[in-house]
Each structure stands twice: as C-alpha cells, then as structure tokens.
A and B are shown apart, each in its own frame.
Chain A
C-alpha cells in the first residue's frame, strides 16, 4: 500500500435522465479515517454513496479499493469487497426484534428439511455485537419499533459492522434523532474506527461532521468543490464552500 488510501473514487459521473447528479467527482478515504461528506440538499451525497454501495452504477469513473480497481455492480459486490452502507431511511424490519434484524437474510438455521432457526445462537452473537460496540439496548428481544430512534440507528450500524466491513458508509445517521441520541450515535461512529473500519459520514449538521471526521469533503450541485482537513478549517469556511458559486470556489481552492 503506497498511498495509504483504502478507497479512491476517480472522475465519477452520474446522471438521472437530464439531471446531472454527479460531475467528475473524486474522493479518497484513508485507512482508519472518518471523512465527512457535506453539501446542501440534492448536492449528490446520497447518490455518491449509493454508487459505492452498489445501489447505483456510475455512468463514468473508477472505484479503487486498496489501490486496485473494483467493479461494484450491486450491493452484494460491495459487501464482498467489505463495504457496508447504513441507509438514511432505516432499512430495518420494525416488526422484528434486534437479533432478527442483525441476522436478516443470513439467519443461522439447521440444515434439516425444515430449516429451524437457531435463535439462541443468533441471540448470543447479537449480544456479542451489541456488547462489542457498547450499544445500550436493555432487552434485545424488543421489537425494533419499540426502540428509540438512536437505538434503531445503532442496530442498523451494528448490522453493518457485523458483516466485518472495511468501510462503512453512513448517510445522515443523525437525522431525526433527539439531541441526547445524536451524541450516542456519534460516539458509536468514532468507536467503529477502533475496529479497523474507515468511514464516510454524511450529514448536513456541521457540528456532527466536525465532531467525528478527520477531513471534510464538500459537494455542491454535483461538483466536489472542497476538501479540508478538519483541524485546518472551520464551519464558516465549510458553509461558504457549500453555498458559494462553483467558479468562485475553484479559484478559492488553488
């Protein structure tokens, strides 16, 4: 590994019909790093993440994982590579309990003709995951819709982590959460790096982004208009980048 990047996006283009959602976008993610991805509504943040997670296919551009080009045609490809996405709109089954959600789609079961669930094993491993990530859910057998928004987000993150990923993409994980819960999700996000996970963290809440990220990327109308080291920038500068004209921005970047 020469350049130390686990993920590199190069010259990514994506259009929806006539709408140009992403134009010549570059992004680099270092090993063990958290980068913040910010931008106004419809800037293209979710689209970019969905390209990395295999939900969308880029029209043009390259994705490099550990400096080797990879094809990510669907979420399965992404998962094989070690990329997990925590979706903005929680992709949990509200009617099922925590272990059921953590193991959704890869339930442990007997190999008999009638496949009996190994609920005990799944519960044990679920407790392990929750414990490892210090996720505070008193009774994991509660149906997810009875959990708070923050706990639900934690379950979604726990599910992503349980696939043993190298990269986790988080799309607005703090949206719709109460203030106390936001802090917990942020702490959880920071803790993930202890498990050798690199993270792209999307939020329009700059406080959150500044709390967790090492570097901050700014998208605007589909253009990546700025990259800043967190310690060498401030909110004012980021806000300017988010809302200033592209031309102005480019001159500023030099």
Chain B
C-alpha cells in the first residue's frame, strides 16, 4: 500500500513476504496461459469470450467483496443469494410503478432490512450466524417465490437496464464499472480505514477487540446491513442485465461466492480481508468455468470441479486461530 511505504520500517529482507501476496495473480496468469494454449482453437482468447468471462464473474465479485467483509469479522451470511432475488423482484415491481430512484431505494431497503434482521438475531439473540442466516435464507426465498407467484417481472426501462449492468460506457460495460467501484471501495475500506481495522480486529480476536473498546457487536450488525445492501445491488444488476427480475437469481451464487472468497486467500476462520484476492479468486473461478465449457464439460461436471477447487483452496488457506 502506498501509505505504508517508507524506509522507517522496511528492511530489504521483509520484501520476501510479498511473494505470497502475488501468488494469486500468478495462479490466475498460469491458468490463463494454459487455457490460451490448449483452447486457442476454441475461441478462448477472443474478445467476445473474455468479455463474457468478465460479465459472468462481475456480479459474483461484487457479492464476494461483501462476503469477504463478513468473513473477515468472523461471521457468515448465507442469506445473500435469496436477498438478491427478493431485492430484484421488489426493485422491478417498484420500477414499474414509481420509477428508477424509488426502485433503487426499495431494493436497497430490502437488503438493509434483511441485514438488520440478521444482525439482530446474531448480535442480540446470540444465534450462530450460519444458523440465523440460513433460516433467513429460507424465509426470504419463500417471500421471493410468493411475491410474484414465481412470475418473472420484465423490465423495459432503458435507463435502468443501461445503468444496472446492461449498458456500455464506450467499450466498457457498466457492469465493469460497478465491479471496479465496489472493489476499490472495499479494498480502501478494509485496508485504509478505521472501520476495516475494526472488522479485522473483531474477526482476529473478538475478546481482545472488545477489551480494547471496540464495539464488535455494532461492527457485525453494520456488516450484516452492508452485505444485505450489496446483495441488493447484485439483484439490481441481474435485473438490468437480463431485463427482468426473477426469483431464481442468486440461487446458485452462495456457493460460488464462498469459493471466490476462499480461493482469493481469505481464512474461513475470520480475520483476513483481501478484497483484491477475492476478486481475482472470482476471476479464476469464472475463467476455469469458461475453460471447462470450451473443453466440453457438462454443467454437472463444472459444479463438481468447483467443489474440488473449494476443497483445495480451503486446504491451502490460512489456518484457524491457535487455541
């Protein structure tokens, strides 16, 4: 980081630690080179295909940034996928009746509310977050199915679809801009701000953090709300990109998001928060998936492959706290 530079703390020996930080990029590059070579006749390197990889990973990356924060604090939110669907539907329904701005507020509001409830159950009712949020997932999923009786809600508003993932600014898809913005904000917040420090301290040693006067419960509660709103944004982006809201959005995403975060080098035991790693992890997943498709593997085989990748990533990922 730029603001960490300076001769006061660096001795040349310390730089060897840095190699590890770049490992994830090397893996990405390695996979890219392998695919570029073996799939050169199947269009892997074509601009269309590369853009495609990007589009398919963008929304996952955005959700994964939120999940990285959650995990960094030592908690899980398994309800993100269902939040995507409900926010998408609420957003689209509001859009039909009231326009873009109310739609955005409604969708984000849904996520914030779900996050608030999750936070309540975890922080106040002291429920383990994976249980509280899996229950929430069920409730939200049910609501999303029920709200339009499984019907998709078409979105015809051109401005909306342009802004939320359907359009391009010059050659650059708006999806790219969203991802970049979320990633940069996430990275800066995690590494450079007081809030990020509190999140990492909470996930690193909640007792120590509390003893030091950090309101760890507030930190967690806030994170649940933030990740709810990020999931809502993901819902809006699906809606804009696919010109409709559907209850199925996000259904498969939890698995992929967790995979991206873990492959990115984050510990499932909390206390680590590499946002860039997470986004690269998401890109690796997207690229492998794309490669598998081009190699001719079926969807089922892809899912199996992704599972194996998570296992490898967890095996290699930072270990839990020493007790």
Contact = CB atoms under 8 A, between A and B. Distances in A.
Interface of A: 75-76, 91-96, 100, 104-107, 109, 114-117, 119-120, 123-124, 127, 138-142, 145
Interface string B50-87: 00000000000000000000000000000000000000
A127 B204 contact: no
Nearest to B272: A95
Contacts of B212: 104-106
Nearest to B201: A93
Interface string B212-240: 11100000000000000000000000000
B11 interface: yes
15 contacts: A91-B211, A93-B204, A93-B271, A95-B203, A96-B200, A100-B200, A104-B214, A105-B211, A114-B189, A115-B193, A117-B197, A120-B3, A138-B11, A141-B4, A142-B17
B11 A145 contact: no
B209 A114 contact: no
A198 to B, nearest CB: 22
B132 to A, nearest CB: 24
Contacts of B209: 93, 104-105
B8 interface: yes
Nearest to A101: B208
Contacts of B17: 142
A140 B9 contact: yes
B312 interface: no
Contact of B204 (A96, A115, A138): A96
Question: B-side binding surface: helix, strand, loop or mixed?
Answer: helix
B9 A92 contact: no
Interface residues of B, number: 32
B200 A115 contact: no
A75 B211 CA distance: 8
Nearest to B14: A139
Interface of B: 3-4, 6, 8-11, 13-14, 17, 189, 192-195, 197, 200-201, 203-205, 207-209, 211-214, 271-272, 321-322
A94 B192 contact: no
Contacts of A140: 9
Given A95-B204, A109-B194, A140-B9, 11 more contacts: A91-B205, A93-B209, A96-B197, A104-B214, A106-B212, A109-B193, A114-B193, A116-B192, A117-B194, A119-B4, A139-B13
A140 B14 CA distance: 10
Given A116-B192, A117-B192, A119-B4, A91 B14 contact: no
Query: Shortest 8 CB-CB distances between A and B: which pairs?
Result: A105-B212, A95-B271, A93-B204, A95-B204, A115-B194, A105-B213, A104-B212, A91-B208
Nearest to A124: B8
A143 to B, nearest CB: 9
Given A106-B213, A119-B4, A127-B8, A92 B208 contact: yes
A75 B4 CA distance: 32
A76 B207 CA distance: 15
Nearest to B192: A116
B107 to A, nearest CB: 24
Contacts of A94: 204-205, 271, 321-322
A11 B158 CA distance: 78
A189 to B, nearest CB: 21
Given A91-B205, A96-B201, A104-B208, A141 B194 contact: no
A123 B201 contact: no
B11 A139 contact: yes
B204 A141 contact: no
A114 B17 CA distance: 29
